[in-house]
Structure 1
Amino acid sequence: MSRRSRVEVDATLLVAKLVPEELLGTVHCLQFSPSVVSGEYSLLELDPALCERVQSGHSLVIRGDKNEHAVLCSDDKTYDLKIADTSNLLLFVPGCRTPEQLAADQETRNLIHAQISGFSNHYWELRRCRPKVKKLKKLLTENTYEGPDVERNKDSVNVTYTTEELLNQIQASEQELMDQLQVIHACKIDGYWRLLEFDYEMKLLNHIAQLVDSESWSFSKVPLNVCRKELEALEPPEMIEHCLKCYGKKFTDDAGEVCFALNEDQICRATAQMLLQNAVKFNFSEFQEVWQQSVPEGMTTRLDQLKGLALLDRSSRPETVCMLKTEDLPEDAQERFNHLFGIREKWSEVDIAPYIQDLCGEKQTIGALLTKYARSSMQNGLKVYNSRRQIS
């Protein structure tokens, strides 16, 4: 195909009833390359921050098994990949320059001939989403750590996962994965991530609490090295330190000694889980009494420590409480609401909020979620929510 001349371009503009003086000075004459193939290229739309990260040498990774919807991950964020169609055909022109670049080029010709190497009528759009980490606990539960004695008698073929292996299976950025490993109290043992059996974790915590009591220490200052040394005959020192990290905040005192400030709410919550895990329902007043007796002396149990862990039924006589953990609920928002409304037909906002808080996006509120997935009504002067769909 012959190249267009300036005369031909001006004639085309005249036919199109366009005024050359109102257009940019440089004209691109486009031709399809003989080797152009439809579908050979894909376009991905990046926001300025992500684009800058890529240009500075950082990587973006697409994660997902064959049965999962693909997500794209940066170092610390996860994005849904959505196909967005466009009515305008998108053309790929290698070496194409923007008007700003052309204006800065002293040697820019008035007429530029360029070849189209590919085209598309859609592109990939990124939408920030929550990391899909529910699978993480399921994987690590396959081979929980119950202490050195049990470990020695285990079959050596038990499945274990390194950080890289988890990144290959979990749809989350590396930072989000590491954060979630910390949330579920996972521990790295011999280079592999393991989840401690809950009863074993409580055994470690009980050893620490008894030592604190016998030494008359403050829960706000528990010395690490003394703990490790005093309890090494009972459990591996690294397990004692891991338990302190799970239930306390590390700091260095004025004398340079590493200490931990134990978290009362986390310890009371773990104790409640220990009491509730083997009971279908618990008389609430009896539970409160046993719960307070079970926590370390000097700690106080409170109802707000049960948020997202246990569900109180005030309508039953007597009032009852049962375990319902947020982490055990479906990750998908609609499935989550279906599950919750299957458990209880009507919810107050106070009761349901702990179980949907993690579904909120960056700028989304609990109220917005309830408006989308539930109907509101008044019951005995209290606003309650029920499902928009029929729950079987």
Structure 2
Amino acid sequence: MDAEMEDAETQAGIEWDGGGGGADAVLGLATGGASVSLCYHQAFGPHDDLVFLEAADDLLPDLLQGRVTVRGRPDEEAVLCTPSATYSMKFVGTSNSVFLIPPGEPSAPCLRPDNTNGDASAADAVAAAIKLAPGNIELVRTAPRLDKLRSLLRERPYILDEDLGDGFQHKKGLYTWQDLCKLIQASDGELLDGLNTLSAVEIDGFWRTVDANSVNTILDMILHNSVLHDWPLNAVPENDVLSVMESDGFTHKIVTHCLNRFGTKVEQEARSFWSLDEKRVCLQFARRVLGAGKMKLANFMDKWERSVPSGMCVDLQMLEGEVLCDKLGAETWVRAFSVADLPLTPADRFAALFSERLKWEWKDLQPYIRDLRVPGVSSEGLLIKYTRRTQPSSEAEPIFTAR
């Protein structure tokens, strides 16, 4: 057989027109022992540009309509992306003989299995193989790889009154949508979700996060103008606030972005209003208060309550996934520890958490892992894989340590 294969591969130099294989005869085989004879196509060879891809039925529409892309840098494992999902690509070898048979009627002449040339129209030459495949690429649904997105956007956050200037050097660290599609291993839908999660905004064609001090300045001005113009915080008129903020030197784009970040747009009587969200606004003020470092809980709550806009009420539960409380003697201290700064992959996330604390109670741990999404794996599955659970008694809170 090896000799036959070597002789057949000498035909690889013959140009292949994409057909001449008789695949229809193979596809038309009935079950129950039906068979066809096989010969080597006159252009049989390695054809390294052809690779078998195993895909589930629900992927076929995207594949056949050309709605898939392969993404990854040379030093990364490639992934296949549909418009809404990401799949890892793994080559799986096979010990069976898997032949690629092109469509159309078998070409003549072809090479029979007995290593003799013959007419493809003969009864024993129904199908002609163009390639013997050593295996196929297997697709497995995977989570988008968005850690790099966060690091890229942090290179050049948007700052109020910045001047980008002209030339390549002034654009360094800035990324367009096309740039991100080339650099980030995620589908378009997942990439857009990632940008929204990071509160990114497209400014002059580049996707940017907004500098924290700039966000604080814009939010302060919106709140200041709400008091000045007697706008209720649950019904800030869009046209009015944009006009006033523009007169103060703020662009519509960045003001609208901040309104969307801290509120929800509401349409009433053919007019647009913004309802500022109490939790999101209070959280932003809590971050400011903790910017100087950890504080005693009582002092923090006092400063936080006095800093928020009139009419808004603070609650420590608003800060789940944003702060940690540590008991030191008789005092409780609070410090910033945001889930937004933690890795997105489960292994790295749990490693970072157990580096911060050796033991976690469930009420503290849950806010830091509830955003993890791994296709085919539940939250319970992640806990089993990465943690050990202990519970001294049925009434006691479970404790989680690293596995």
Q: Which one-letter code corresponds to 1:277 in the other structure?
A: G
Give the secondary structure class of the aligned counterpart of 2:128. strand
Consecutive aligned runs of 4 or more in structure 1 exceeding 4 Å deviation: 108-112, 152-155
In structure 2, how many angstroms separate the alpha carbons of the residues matched to 1:296 and 1:237? 23
Instruction: Specify whether residues 153 and 109 from structure 1 end up closer, same or farther in structure 2 by C-alpha distance, changes over 3 A only.
Output: closer
* CA positional deviation for 1:32: 5.7
Kept in 2, the 8 Å contact 1:334–1:373? The answer is: yes
Partner of 1:144: 157
Q: Which one-letter code corresponds to 1:50 in the other structure?
A: L
Unaligned runs of at least 5 residues, structure 1: 2-19, 98-107
Kept in 1, the 8 Å contact 2:174–2:206? The answer is: yes
Kept in 1, the 8 Å contact 2:264–2:274? The answer is: yes
Partner of 2:300: 287
Partner of 2:181: 167
Instruction: Specify whether residues 159 and 303 from structure 1 end up closer, same or farther in structure 2 by C-alpha distance, changes over 3 A only.
Output: same
* CA positional deviation for 1:50: 1.4
Q: Which one-letter code corresponds to 1:66 in the other structure?
A: P
* CA positional deviation for 1:357: 1.9
Partner of 1:89: 97
Q: Which one-letter code corresponds to 1:340 in the other structure?
A: L
In structure 1, how many angstroms separate the alpha carbons of the residues matched to 2:194 and 2:218? 21
Residue of structure 1 aligned with 2:282, choices 268, 273, 276:
268
Kindly provide the CA deviation profile for residues 215-255 of structure 1, in whole angstroms up to 9, marking residues without a partner as x.
3333221111100112223222332122112212223211x
* CA positional deviation for 1:27: 2.1
Give the secondary structure class of the aligned counterpart of 2:152. helix
In structure 2, how many angstroms separate the alpha carbons of the residues matched to 1:134 and 1:289? 36
Residue of structure 2 aligned with 1:278, choices 292, 306, 326:
292
* CA positional deviation for 1:176: 1.5
Q: Which one-letter code corresponds to 2:215 in the other structure?
A: E
Q: Which one-letter code corresponds to 2:46 in the other structure?
A: V
Structure 1 residue 47 corresponds to structure 2 residue 56: yes
* CA positional deviation for 1:122: 2.2
Kept in 2, the 8 Å contact 1:145–1:151? The answer is: no
Partner of 1:10: none
Residue of structure 2 aligned with 1:301, choices 309, 314, 322:
314
In structure 2, how many angstroms separate the alpha carbons of the residues matched to 1:338 and 1:166? 27
Instruction: Specify whether residues 364 and 23 from structure 1 end up closer, same or farther in structure 2 by C-alpha distance, changes over 3 A only.
Output: closer
In structure 1, how many angstroms separate the alpha carbons of the residues matched to 2:196 and 2:243? 25
Residue of structure 2 aligned with 1:60, choices 63, 68, 71:
68
Partner of 1:101: none
Kindly provide the CA deviation profile for residues 26-54 of structure 1, in whole angstroms up to 9, marking residues without a partner as x.
62323365541164422222221211122
Give the secondary structure class of the aligned counterpart of 2:398. strand
Instruction: Specify whether residues 224 and 22 from structure 1 end up closer, same or farther in structure 2 by C-alpha distance, changes over 3 A only.
Output: closer
Partner of 1:202: 216
Partner of 1:213: 227
* CA positional deviation for 1:341: 0.9
Instruction: Specify whether residues 383 and 168 from structure 1 end up closer, same or farther in structure 2 by C-alpha distance, changes over 3 A only.
Output: same
In structure 1, how many angstroms separate the alpha carbons of the residues matched to 2:181 and 2:43? 42
Partner of 2:84: 76
Partner of 1:349: 362
In structure 2, how many angstroms separate the alpha carbons of the residues matched to 1:304 and 1:85? 52
Instruction: Specify whether residues 27 and 253 from structure 1 end up closer, same or farther in structure 2 by C-alpha distance, changes over 3 A only.
Output: same
How many residues are treated as equivalent by the alignment?
Answer: 355
Unaligned runs of at least 5 residues, structure 2: 5-29, 106-120
TM-score for the superposition, normalised by structure 2: 0.80
In structure 1, how many angstroms separate the alpha carbons of the residues matched to 2:43 and 2:164? 67
Q: Which one-letter code corresponds to 2:387 in the other structure?
A: A
TM-score for the superposition, normalised by structure 1: 0.82
Q: Which one-letter code corresponds to 2:259 in the other structure?
A: L
Partner of 2:259: 244
**CA RMSD of the aligned region, Å?**
2.7
Residue of structure 2 aligned with 1:119, choices 132, 139, 160:
132
